Amino acid sequence: MSKVLLEVDKLQAWYDQSHILQGVSISVTEGTVLSVLGRNGAGKTTLLNSIMAVLKKRKGRVTYAGKDIQSLQSYQIASLGIAYVPETRGIFPSLSVRENLEIAARAPITSGQREAWSLEKVYKLFPRLEERAENGGGQLSGGEQQMLSIARALMTNPDLLILDEPTEGLAPLVVQEIEAFLTELKQKGLTMLLVEQSLGFATSLADDIVILGKGKIRWAGAPSELAKDPKIQHTWLGV
């Protein structure tokens, strides 16, 4: 029986005096993909930053693999086996592609579940990165930088991959590539929490969907259920 890997319970978060998250609860089951959808300003990135302790002004409960992580620092949370691919990508522009990857390399937290990620394995998933291995991160296109950001996260050998808007600003052909990469990761059994604005992209990958609106959960269910509810799509996603 699959277990809940990440659980967020009644999470609240603030930027200065602005109350952004107002009691958000989600759970991510091991081996599945949860997509969080919503308009700009809905609180999606705030949710991820709160989970990862990037945002400090928050309260509620966050547990990972049964451990309460709400009081931990970001680096401590990452060390538990969570990799975060932020919307800003966060690569090192002065380091080469290879150096960006090597600096993130870490042994798996859990053993025996999946084959560990290595430089060779990452290059097999992202052949373009191997071609650009000695180029600086700042010399890459937007799509290549996004690939590098995801690949670097995989080099930490995570049990949970969190992605914030991985298709933002990318050309349609590159979006298709990213979707193919993430689909392959899903098939390998990697658990993912995905924040997206693109309904089609999110539903193609998701096992479950949550819609955020004005800092609260407005809808939750399966992609097939959302497809049958145009009113929810229009009200909270503008589709």
> What DSSP string runs through 189-239?
T-EEEEEES-HHHHHHH-SEEEEEETTEEEEEE-HHHHHT-HHHIIIII--
Strands (E), the chain: 4-15, 18-29, 33-37, 58-64, 67-68, 82-85, 160-164, 191-196, 208-213, 216-221
H or E stretch including 139? none
Provide, rounded to the nearest whole percent, the portion of the chain with pLDDT above 90: 85
Give me the pLDDT at residue 112, please: 53
Per-residue model confidence as pLDDT tens digits over 123-166:
999 999 999 999 999 999 999 999 999 999 999 999 999 999 99
Give me the pLDDT at residue 111, please: 55
Q: Does the domain at residues 4-237 carry the CATH identifier 3.40.190.150?
A: no
Q: Are 39 and 236 in contact (CB under 8 A)?
A: yes
Q: pTM of the entire structure? A: 0.94
Nearest 5 degrees, angle CA 17-CA 27-CA 212? 45
Per-residue model confidence as pLDDT tens digits over 205-217:
999 999 999 999 9
Every domain of the chain and the residues it spans: 4-237
Structure tokens at 74: 């970001």
DSSP 179: H
Split at pLDDT 50, 70, 90, the class of 109 is confident
H or E stretch including 159? none
User: End-to-end distance of the chain based on CA atoms, in angstroms?
Assistant: 36
Per-residue model confidence as pLDDT tens digits over 16-34:
889 999 999 999 999 999 9
Q: Are 77 and 33 in contact (CB under 8 A)?
A: no
